[in-house]
Amino acid sequence: MNKETAFSYQLSAFSMKRIWNFVVTAVVATASIGWAATALPAQSVDPIAQQIDSKDPAQIQRAVATIRNRLLAASPDDRKAAVQGLAQQGHWLEKLKEAQQQEEIVRLAQEATLAVPWDVWLVEYVQYYRAQALLKLGRP
């Protein structure tokens, strides 16, 4: 075998190895993306958010009553979950703000603060909405 042929075989082997690595990487990446897509839970519909979004006063009052009941739960974990629904997960305070329910925001923020006074971030979040609602009501 002469030097040109040996070099050609080495180059072919090197190219084939690079192509193989690319194919394996693409297959693994595609499989990972497919797995992640099937592993993610489907977005569940939040009934409280739906009630608030309905803009129906009776539905909004039911949503507020549900939130209030959750804030009064015996378990600290249940109370924290309710405040997280107000603040993070469901953004119920934001939805109440969009529905012009300033008085309810003020009351729920106070109840949420009493429900989880140890969680400074959540208290800060709900108090921000309380302050905004009070300003909107003209009661700074």
**Residues 94-137: tens digit of each pLDDT:** 999 999 999 999 999 999 999 999 999 999 999 999 999 999 99
Answer yes or no: pTM beyond 0.75: no
Write down the domain spans for the chain. Answer: 1-40, 47-137
Q: Are 70 and 79 in contact (CB under 8 A)?
A: yes
Span 114-126, pLDDT tens digits:
999 999 999 999 9
DSSP-assigned letters across all residues of 24-78: HHHHHHHHHHHHHHHHSPPPPP-HHHHHHHT--HHHHHHHHHHHHHHHT-SSHHH
